Chains A and B, each alone.
Chain A
Amino acid sequence: MSAHSITEPSSRQKWVAGTLVILYALITITPLIWILMTGFKTPPDSISYPPKVVFTPSLEGYVNLFTTRTRVSPEALAALPPPANFAEEIVRNRNMVIAGPSKFGERFMNSVIIGFGSTFLSIFLGTLAAYAFSRFKIPLADDLLFFILSTRMMPPIAVAIPIFLMYRNLGLSDTHLGMILLYTAVNISLAVWLLKGFIDEIPREYEEAALIDGYTRFQAFYKVVLPQAATGIASTAIFCLIFAWNEYAFAVLLTSGTAQTAPPFIPTIIGVGGLDWPAVAAGATIFLLPVMIFTILLRKHLLRGITFGAVRK
C-alpha cells in the first residue's frame, strides 16, 4: 500500500470522483445527444414508442428545417422530372415538393448579428466603464456600482411591459438595433462588475510605466491594460454571448419578423404540417453550434474567469 498523503487523493477517492463526474456528464449530455439524434430521425421514428435508440439516419429534419414544402397529388408528382438533389428526393417521398427556402437561415443570422453585436457592445462599454471605476476617483463610485448591480436584482422580464411600450413608441420593436441595445443593457452590469475585478488585479505600475515611457493614458490603456485583461474580457464575453444567444422571452415579445432571433422561431416549426420534431431538433442542434464553438475556443479563459480572484497571488 502506498504512503498516505493529505494532498494527493487516494485511488479510491479518485475512483469515486471519476464516477461522479461521469454520472454528471451523462445527465447533462443525454438531452443534447437526444436532440442531436432526433434531428437525424424520420418524423415517425421521432415519436415512436418505445423510443428508438437505433434507427436509420435521415436528413429529413434538416431538409424540413431549411425549406417550405407543398403537398401535390401523386399524378402531378409522377409528371415531374426526376429530383435534382437529395433534398428534393426526401421531400417527394412524402408526396410534397419544395416550395422555397424557410426563414431559418435568416433568423439564425439575426441571432448571430444580435448575439455577437450585443456582446461586442457590452464588452466595449463594460471595459471602458470598468477601467474608469478601477482607476479613477469617481464621485459616488460605490453608489454607481451598486446601481449598476441593482439592474440585475430582478429578472429582466419583470420590466417587459414598459420596455415593450417604450420600444413601440421609439420604433425599436422588431429591429436589430433594439435587440442589441436591450441585451447590452442587461449584460452591461455583469460586464462592468466582472471586468472591474479583472482590471483591479492588474497592477497600476504597468500603466504608470507606459506613461513614463512616453505614452498617453489611452495608449497605456489599450497597449498595456487590454492585453493583460484579455482573459477577463474573454470569459466575460462568453457569459454575455450565452445570455444574448439563449434569450427567449424578450425575443418572443419584441420581435416577429425582421429581427426575430432563432429561439422564438424554432418552436414555430412545430406548427407547419404536424409535429415535425426532427426539424425542431435540427434547428436546436444548429443553434447550439456557435456558442459551443465559441466556448470551446475560449474555454481556458472561461475556467480561469470562474476561479479568478479565488487565490491572492
Chain B
Amino acid sequence: MAEIVIKNVRKEFGDFVAVKESSFTIQDGEFFMLLGPSGCGKTTTLRMIAGLELPTSGEIFLDGEEISQRPPSQRDIAFVFQMFALYPHMNVRRNLSYPLVSQGMARRDVRAKVDEVAGILGIRDILNRPVGGLSGGDRQRVALGRAIVRDPKAFMMDEPLGALDAEFREHMAEELRALHDRMGATTVYVTHDQLEAMQMGDKIVVMNNAVVEQFGTPQDIYDMPATMFVADFIGSPSMNFLPFEGAVQAGTDSVALNGATVGVPRQMAEARGKLVFGVRPEHIRLSDEGAYRGEVLAVEYLGTTQIITLETANGALKVRAPSGQVATVGETVGLGFDAKTITLFDAASGRALRSALNDGVLAHG
C-alpha cells in the first residue's frame, strides 16, 4: 500500500515529447484514473511509474522513496497489460506462480498463495489449463491474479478491459472495482473511456498532448472543467460551447449572449475578446420565457431522456430533456440556462475563467 507522487516528470523519445512536466499525487489506496485520448501520454506515464520507461527528467516517489531510475524488479509494482501478456508457454498455475518464484519463495508457500488468489478470483478450476484456450474474461482474471499474488505496493493497469467484449466489460469493471475495495491497494488505471473513468475512479487525471489538463475527483472534473478539452472529452453528449465576443469584469454574474442577458456564476477575473460559454446539455431547459432562442433541428429519444439538437445564433446546441417534453423539429423555442453551472472559457487558451463555481478546483488543476 503506497502513496505515489509524480513530480515534474518528463519523457522524450528522441525529438518526440511524450509527457511534458507533469505532477500529481496518488493517495494511498486510491483508484486513480489516467484518462485521455490515444497518444496523450497516459500509458507512458503509467509505464514510467512501473519502471518500464525511465523518465527523461523529474521524480517519482513511492512511499516517500525516489524510484524514477530503478528497474521494475526493484519497485514492487504490479502491472496488468491490455493484451494480458500471460506467458503463453505456461499453464495458469505457473503463470500465477511466476512472480513468487522470482522472489525465491518456498514451493509450498507458492502453492498456498496461488490457491488463495485463485479462490479470490474464482479461477481455481482452471489452474491446470494452458492459458491459450481461456476465454477473455478468464485471461483477464489470470492477469489480475498474477498482479495481486505477490501483494505489491501498487497496481498499474493499462486499459485492462480494452480487449474484452462490450457486455463483459461492464461486469469485469464491477469485479475490478470490488476487488480494489476489498484489498484497498493503490491502483493506477489507464483508459481512454471517459465513462469507465467516471464510473470506477476515485480521482481522475485528464491528459492531452503530453500535458495534464486537470486532476481531481470525477464530480469536480465533470462539473468544473479546467479547460475546454476536458469539458469536451468528458460527458456524452459533451458540453455545449457557444462562442461569443464580450468582456467579463470581476464580480459580474451575467454575460450578453447574442443580445440576451444570461446568468453565470460570479466571475473572479477579468477577460475580454473571444470567449466561450460552456453549458452541459442537462443544464438547459426549454422554456418559453427564455430570452435566448433556438430552432429545433433534431430529436433523439433515449428512453428516460431525449437529446434535442438546436440551432442558435452562436452555433449548434444539445439539450438533454426529460422524454416527456414535447419538442417539434422546425419549431423555435426559448432556452433557459442553469446559471450556477455555467463555465466561461477563454477561446484562445481554452482555459476556464475563474468564477465562484470553479475557484477551488482550478487551483490544483
Contact = CB atoms under 8 A, between A and B. Distances in A.
A209 B79 contact: yes
Main secondary structure, interface of A, reads helix
Interface residues of B, number: 22
B89 A212 contact: no
A215 B99 CA distance: 8
B52 interface: yes
B93 to A, nearest CB: 15
Interface stretch (A5-13, A179-187, A200-208): A200-208
B61 interface: no
A209 to B, nearest CB: 4
B155 to A, nearest CB: 11
Nearest to B77: A212
Contacts of A228: 88-89
Interface in B251-271: none
A213 interface: yes
Nearest to A205: B85
Interface string A105-140: 000000000000000000000000000000000000
A206 B72 contact: no
A214 interface: yes
Contacts of B85: 203, 205-206, 208-209
A211 interface: yes
Contact of A205 (B83, B98, B103, B150): B83
Contacts of B78: 212
A18 interface: no
Nearest to A211: B72
Contacts of A203: 83, 85
Interface string B195-228: 0000000000000000000000000000000000
Given A208-B52, A228-B89, A215 B73 contact: yes
Given A206-B87, A227-B89, A228-B89, A213 B146 contact: yes
Output the residue of B73, B78, B79 with the most chain A CB within 10 A. B73
B349 interface: no
B135 interface: no
A213 B52 contact: no
A205 B81 contact: yes
A228 B73 CA distance: 22
B136 to A, nearest CB: 16
A224 interface: yes
Contacts of B87: 206, 209-210, 224
Contacts of A208: 52, 72, 79, 81, 85
Interface string A190-231: 000000000000010110111111111001000010011000
B102 interface: yes
A212 B51 CA distance: 8
Contact of B99 (A214, A219, A224): A214
Output the residue of B50, B88, B146, B150 with the most chain A CB within 10 A. B88
Contacts of B86: 209
Contacts of B103: 214
A213 B50 contact: no
B246 interface: no
Contact of A211 (B71, B83, B146, B150): B71
B235 to A, nearest CB: 32
Contacts of B89: 227-228
B102 A211 contact: no
A212 B88 contact: no
Nearest to B89: A227
Interface string A230-243: 00000000000000
Contacts of A216: 71, 73
B73 A211 contact: yes
A170 B185 CA distance: 64
Nearest to B52: A208
B102 A209 contact: no
A227 B98 CA distance: 15
Contacts of A227: 89
Interface string B39-52: 00000000000111
Interface string A142-155: 00000000000000
A165 to B, nearest CB: 45
Interface string B76-108: 011101010111110000000011001100000
A211 B103 CA distance: 12
B83 A213 contact: no
Output the residue of A213, A216, A224, A227 with the most chain B CB within 10 A. A213
A214 B71 CA distance: 9
Given A203-B83, A208-B85, A213 B77 contact: no
Contacts of B71: 211, 216
Contacts of A211: 51-52, 71-73
Nearest to A202: B88
Which 6 pairs between the two chains have the least Cβ-Cβ distance? A205-B85, A214-B102, A213-B99, A209-B85, A212-B79, A227-B89
Interface of A: 203, 205-206, 208-216, 219, 224, 227-228
Given A209-B87, A209-B146, 15 more contacts: A203-B83, A205-B83, A206-B85, A209-B79, A209-B86, A210-B98, A211-B51, A211-B71, A211-B73, A212-B50, A212-B51, A212-B52, A212-B77, A213-B99, A215-B102
25 contacts: A203-B85, A206-B87, A206-B88, A208-B52, A208-B79, A208-B85, A209-B79, A209-B81, A209-B86, A211-B72, A211-B73, A212-B50, A212-B52, A212-B73, A212-B77, A212-B78, A212-B79, A213-B98, A214-B73, A214-B102, A214-B103, A216-B71, A216-B73, A219-B102, A227-B89
